[in-house]
Amino acid sequence: MALLTNAAKNRRYWLENFYKVNQRAVEGWSEWPEAWVIPANQANKSGLAYVLRILRMGDVEVYKADGPVGGDGRTFPAGSFVVPMQQPYASFAQTLLEVQHYPDLREFRGGPPKRPYDVTAHTLPLLMDVEAIAVDALQTPVETLMAGGVIATPSFDFQLPDIFTGDSAPKVGLYKSAQEPMEGGWTRWMFDQHALQYDTLKDQRARKGGLVEDYDVIVFQDQSKESIEKGYGKGIVPDSYAGGLGEEGVEALEAFVREGGRVVAIEESTEFVIQLLGLEVSNAVARLDPTDFYVPGSILELDLDEESQLNRGLDSSVQAWYWGSSRAFEVSEPNATVTARYGKGNPLRSGWLLGPDYLAGKPAVVEVAVGKGSVVLIGFQPNYRSQSVATWPMLFNAMMPAKVGRPATQKENKR
107 CA to centre of own chain: 29
Q: Tell me how far apart the alpha carbons of residues 62 and 37 are, in angstroms, rounded to a whole number.
A: 10
Average the pLDDT over 382-391 and give the result. 95
Average the pLDDT over 33-47 and give the result. 92
Which helix (H) or strand (E) element contains residue 408?
none
Q: How many CA within 13 A on the CB side of residue 103?
A: 4
Q: Tell how strand 133-135 and strand 69-71 pair up.
A: unpaired
**Choice between 360 and 144, residue whose per-residue pLDDT is larger:** 360
Average the pLDDT over 61-82 and give the result. 92
Strand partners for 32: none
- DSSP helix/strand/coil, 74: strand
Residue 247 is which amino acid? E
Average the pLDDT over 362-382 and give the result. 97
Q: In the chain, pLDDT over 70 holds for what percent of residues?
A: 96
Average pLDDT over the chain, rounded to an integer: 90
Average the pLDDT over 217-244 and give the result. 91
Q: Tell me how far apart the alpha carbons of residues 141 and 281 are, in angstroms, rounded to a whole number.
A: 57
Q: Is the pLDDT of residue 413 over 50?
A: no
Q: Tell me how far apart the alpha carbons of residues 4 and 366 are, in angstroms, rounded to a whole number.
A: 57
- Confidence at residue 11, expressed as pLDDT on a 0 to 100 scale: 86
Q: Is the pLDDT of residue 286 over 60?
A: yes
Whether 353 contacts 288, CB under 8 Å: no
pLDDT tens-digit series, residues 139-168: 888 777 777 789 888 776 677 778 888 888
Crossing angle of helices 11-27 and 90-97, rounded to 10°: 50
DSSP per-residue string spanning 260-302? T-EEEEETTHHHHHHHHHT-SEEETTTT--TTT-B-SSEEEEE
Average the pLDDT over 212-226 and give the result. 96
Q: Is the pLDDT of residue 403 over 90?
A: no
Q: Tell me how far apart the alpha carbons of residues 302 and 299 are, in angstroms, rounded to a whole number.
A: 10
Average the pLDDT over 366-380 and give the result. 96
Strand partners for 75: 70
DSSP category for residue 162: G
Write down the pTM of the prediction. Answer: 0.90
pLDDT class for 405, splitting at 50, 70, 90?
very low
Q: Is 387 exposed, middle or buried (0-12, 13-18, 19+ CB in 10 A)?
A: middle
Whether 360 contacts 345, CB under 8 Å: yes
pLDDT tens-digit series, residues 227-240: 999 988 888 888 88
- DSSP helix/strand/coil, 141: coil
Please report, for the chain, how many H helices and E strands are present, in that order: 12, 18
- Confidence at residue 412, expressed as pLDDT on a 0 to 100 scale: 38
Q: Tell me how far apart the alpha carbons of residues 132 and 22 are, in angstroms, rounded to a whole number.
A: 24
Whether 342 contacts 364, CB under 8 Å: yes
Residue 117 CB partners (closer than 8 Å, separation 6+): none
Residue 109 is which amino acid? R
Domains annotated for the chain, with CATH where assigned, are 23-146 (no CATH), 162-414 (3.40.50.880)
Q: Tell me how far apart the alpha carbons of residues 338 and 7 are, in angstroms, rounded to a whole number.
A: 60
- The radius of gyration of the chain from alpha carbons, rounded to an integer in Å, stands at 24
Average the pLDDT over 46-65 and give the result. 94
Q: What are the distances in angstroms from CA 1 to CA 4, 18, 197?
A: 5, 21, 48
- Confidence at residue 404, expressed as pLDDT on a 0 to 100 scale: 44
- Confidence at residue 13, expressed as pLDDT on a 0 to 100 scale: 87
CA dihedral for 159, 164, 165, 171, sign (positive or negative): negative
Whether 244 contacts 288, CB under 8 Å: no
Strand partners for 338: 366
Residue 263 is which amino acid? V
Q: Is the pLDDT of residue 409 over 80?
A: no
